[in-house]
Structure formats: structure tokens, C-alpha cells
Amino acid sequence: MWLYTRGFRSPRKLPTMMSSKRNTVQRQLIMSAVKELDIHATAEQVYEHLFQKHPTISRATVFRNLSQLAESGELLNIGSFNGSTRYDHNCHDHYHMACKVCKQIFDIEVEVELSEIFKRLKQPEGFDITGFNMSFSGICWNCKDSAQKP
């Protein structure tokens, strides 16, 4: 029994260590792609950006790592805009506004404590609310300028 346990464990250890090292490199690549793009990128945009330099990276790897990075708080999942989840490297407390014309997403600072809303909610029974998502929409400076040109 002892031999069986020992034999079962040791061969598994090495591949695990090697793959976790590869995972770290991939995670760092994905993190810096989100920073470089700096557009509240979708997973698809991150993948396309990385694919240019790293054609061996798979779409599934990029998608999986992005959601893991958002879960661990290294990136922010700012919710879905125009049907795609967006990722933000800027993790400080801020909100977003989406341009209805060019579909770009911009940062906006909000000075009131929006989490105050929590205190005024009628808690639905049996449902634990752990977060909320709020964003603004409108027409950005660039799109307004080009609309005004004759």
C-alpha cells in the first residue's frame, strides 16, 4: 500500500510543476496584452493581439486565463458591452461609459459612493447579492466632432 501511494504520487509531480511554469508565462503575456491594448479589450481582441507575436497560443488559453485573472483580481471584468465581456487592467474603483457610435469604452470617475445603493435595496429572499454592474452610455468627443462637421 505504501509503495503504491509513493509510486502514484511521484511521477505526477514533475509535469504539474512544468505546466504551472508555462501557465505563469502565459498569464504574464495575457496581462501585458490587456495593458498594451488599453481599450477595455474583449477576449477576442486580446487573442488577436497575442496571436501576431505568439501564433502557438490558443484562443481557449487566452479566454480561460482572462477569466482566471479576473477572478483573482489581477484584472477587472467590467461586464459585457455590445455582447462581449471586456477586461480592464485598471483595477481602481471607477466606472465606464460606452459610445453608442464608435462602441469605444472610456473610464469615468464617480465621486459619490455608488455602493450606497446596496443599503437601499430590498434584498430578494434567498439570493445573495455580491456585486453590481453599472455603466453609462452616450456619444464620445470624437464622434460628436465628426457629426458636427459639414
Binding site for Zn ion (CB under 5 A): 88, 90, 99, 101-102, 107, 140, 143
Q: How far is the CB of 142 from Zn ion (least distance, A)?
A: 5
- Identify which of residues 29 and 34 has a Cβ nearer to Zn ion in the complex: 34
DSSP tag of 124: P
Q: Name residue, grid cell 509510486.
A: 7
- Identify which of residues 77 and 90 has a Cβ nearer to Zn ion in the complex: 90
Residue pair 75/33 in contact (Cβ under 8 Å)? The answer is no
User: Exposed, middle or buried, 72 (CB in 10 Å: 0-12/13-18/19+)?
Assistant: exposed
What CA–CA distance (Å, rounded) separates 122 from 127? 11
- Identify which of residues 51 and 95 has a Cβ nearer to Zn ion in the complex: 95
Q: How far is the CB of 104 from Zn ion (least distance, A)?
A: 5
Q: How far is the CB of 66 from Zn ion (least distance, A)?
A: 15
